[in-house]
Amino acid sequence: MALKLNMLPPSVNNMSVRVFVRAAGLPHEEENVWGQTQADEYLSKYPAGLTPTIETDELPKGILGESCAIMMYLASREGRDDLYPTDLGRRAMVDGANFFTLSILYPLVARATYPRLSFAGYPGEVATSEASDEDKETARKAAEQALPARLDVYPKFYGTDKGFIGGGDSPTIADIRLAATLEFLAVADTPLPGWAKDYIERVESALGEAYSEPASDVRGYIAQVQGAAVA
Ligand SMILES: N[C@@H](CCC(=O)N[C@@H](CS)C(=O)NCC(=O)O)C(=O)O
């Protein structure tokens, strides 16, 4: 079976892997699974009901989820040291950044932006509760206000004000994951810090169409919801 990528175009979790497969030059077939992730057929393959997933016979269960795990698997399989360094020190920085992005930054980005993107939030959060619209906005703002301190970790510790995560001269999977995540901050009230704007441009210019093409789906969706909000 050729590599199949199940994805949702407006999602930055999905954008990460869509950028990666293009940057790595991997032949693949993309399927837009909008409306299918909670259906029995998808859940029987991947009970998490989430995207992105890749399908290939080489995997123990024929399918793998989680954007970073997918990029780690494919980059390792392809021997792409440039995208996922084998040097342990460099790899440690890439892994550290990715785990920080997924577990610390992304939940805040989601709470700050999902209400404006019309994305479903997570159970137990104020945005998905019976709280008033005012309380929901207070919670959204609290998440947004916590972002600058978390974002500051990247230039201070991962060197994103000057170069790429992992210290090489080209983007790694951690840069792909972070730059994609930052795309959603276009709907936040707080402007992106200067380093982050330059950083997205640096990653995009290094990866070219591999970045721009999947990014255009996310940016197009953002433009659409922003247009609807002012209309
Ligand atoms: N940590 C996961 C997050 C995956 C995730 O939350 N995917 C969402 C899209 S952003 C999804 O597929 N939700 C199911 C749906 O919307 O039907 C990753 O990085 O891949």
What CATH number is attached to the domain comprising 16? 3.40.30.10
- What band does 229 get if pLDDT is binned at 50, 70 and 90? confident
pTM metric for this prediction = 0.97
Rounded Cα gap, residues 4 and 18, in angstroms: 11
Instruction: List pLDDT tens digits, range 161-212.
Output: 999 999 999 999 999 999 999 999 999 999 999 999 999 999 999 999 999 9
Looking at residue 231, its pLDDT comes to: 67
- State the Rg of the chain over Cα: 18
Cis ω before 52 (30° cut-off from 0):
yes
Domain that holds residue 45: 4-77
CB of 19 within 8 A of CB of 176?
A: yes
Q: What is the CATH number of the domain that holds 123?
A: 1.20.1050.10
Q: Which of 21, 36, 50, 99 to mutate to test the pocket of ligand 1 (most atoms within 8 A of CB)?
A: 50
Last residue of a domain, one of 18, 44, 77: 77
Residue located nearest, by CA, to atom 6 of ligand 1: 50
Domain match, 38 and 128 both: no
Assigned domain for 83 exists? no
Q: Is 69 in the pocket of ligand 1 (CB under 6 A)?
A: no
pLDDT bin (cut points 50, 70, 90) of residue 121 is: confident
- The pLDDT of residue 1: 67
| Ligand 1 close to Cβ of residue 51 (< 6 A) | yes
Tell me the C-alpha distance between 180 and 188, whole Å: 15
Q: Quote the number of domains for the chain.
A: 2
